[in-house]
Structure 1
Amino acid sequence: MEHAPDQEPSRARPPAKRVDAARNRDTILTAARAALAEAPHSSMAEIARRAGVGMATLYRNFPGRRELLEALYAEQVETVCAAAEDEAAAAASPGAAFTAWLGRFLAFSAGKHHIAQELLAQVDHDSPLFNDNRSRVLAAGRPLLAAAQQTHEVRAELSLEQILDMVIAITGIHGDARYTGPILRAALDGLRPANVDP
């Protein structure tokens, strides 16, 4: 009697509903990111309209505005953390990698400002939401700073916390990128040790 050949365990495909739910979530986040960038106080109804979903679908993915903002905030943190590896692989030197990443961090800080401000009205500043994500950003940036300091491209006495606080302070200056860009470049020039030529 012949035995049927052993079959490999089938890799179950995620149910169609799960795929649709993930797609809806991504669509909502994309729409919310664009809407809030244009008008920080955009309503949930406006976000649903932009995403092309009903309010029931919106609230099934994000039970409230706070949950939506937290997801956007975490998404931005993930982007800036991933950028650390990208810059380390692409830049010509450790100092260039760190400087490029700080530029990405500046864009991240400016982009999340209104989201963070709204969240701060709902959660405590010491909330794990902020502390855990700040820890992730610091963990992503420390290797870049350490490498740049080892090659004497960044002052050894500066900590990553100090440098990021400086960048965050620059995002608080009123003006567009044409105005704040030179300020950031001047600040980054100051990171170099005094005896190192640009």
Structure 2
Amino acid sequence: MTATPMSGRRAQAARNDEAILQAARAVFTADPGAPISAVADRAGVGISALYRRYGSKEALLRKLCADGLELYIAASEKSLAMADDPWEAFATYMRDIVDADSSSLTIALAGTFQPTEELYHLSTRASQLAVEVHDRAVTAGVLRPDVTVADIALLFEQFASIKLGDERRTTELRHRYLTLVLDSLRHPPAHRPLPGPPPTDEELERRWTPSS
């Protein structure tokens, strides 16, 4: 069945909502203490339009975290549905979680607001799936048995801390180091070509140059 096209007003509201969420993610992962007005400015919408959709900063933070957990759950379910190659299923899970970048929200927002029952439910589901993905890889003999689910969770946070250059370069570098880590996690160990060039001295030094 063909979906009914949204009216002009509803389509604009959907675009505004997407812009607000993208802006909120960028603003609050950079500075969890930023005012909600900074989100409206970055999204290019009026503060009243933002408040019509999200009644408070906490409501917006909860939405960001719920979206991040849902991405995590989707990546886990995708991995568990891959039955042919246990290692590729685990590696795909790792790559998808790194690309979803939900760990940036964990690093920035943990403890900054009161979670709802919905968030507790999503978090419980995400944790259960993470255990399933981990246990299946260990049982199949493709993942080092001394690596725990908590180890993997902290690795995701380490990948999220890699931020160098623009979004494309950051993604490239995260996958470079993910490949290194995957080779160390695999049982028995593997060694594959690393994606993307290593960071240059200029890239590292550029972080200390004030932006104009």
TM value normalised by structure 2: 0.63
Match of 2:104 in 1: 113
Match of 1:11 in 2: none
Partner-residue secondary structure (3-state), 2:187:
coil
| Larger Rg, first or second structure (1 or 2) | 1
1:106·1:167 contact (CA, 8 Å) conserved in 2? Answer: yes
TM value normalised by structure 1: 0.66
1:99-137 alpha-carbon deviations (Å, 9 max, x no partner): 11111222233x5525752x347337xx67886654332
- Aligned counterparts, 1:1-198, within 5 A: 24=13, 27-36=15-24, 39-40=27-28, 43-46=38-41, 49-50=44-45, 55-90=47-82, 92-109=84-101, 113=104, 117=108, 119-120=109-110, 122-123=112-113, 133-175=122-164, 176-194=170-188
Any gaps of 5 or more consecutive residues in structure 2? Answer: 1-9, 29-33, 165-169, 192-212
Pick closer, same or farther for the CA change 1:134–1:162 going to 2, 3 Å: farther
1:82-109 alpha-carbon deviations (Å, 9 max, x no partner): 1211233246412211111111222233
Aligned-pair Cα RMSD in Å: 3.4
Percentage identity across aligned positions? 20
1:16-48 alpha-carbon deviations (Å, 9 max, x no partner): xxxx6xx95x55541123224555557243367
Pick closer, same or farther for the CA change 1:28–1:122 going to 2, 3 Å: farther
Any gaps of 5 or more consecutive residues in structure 1? Answer: 1-19
Number of matched residues?
170
Deviation at 1:152, TM superposition (A): 0.5
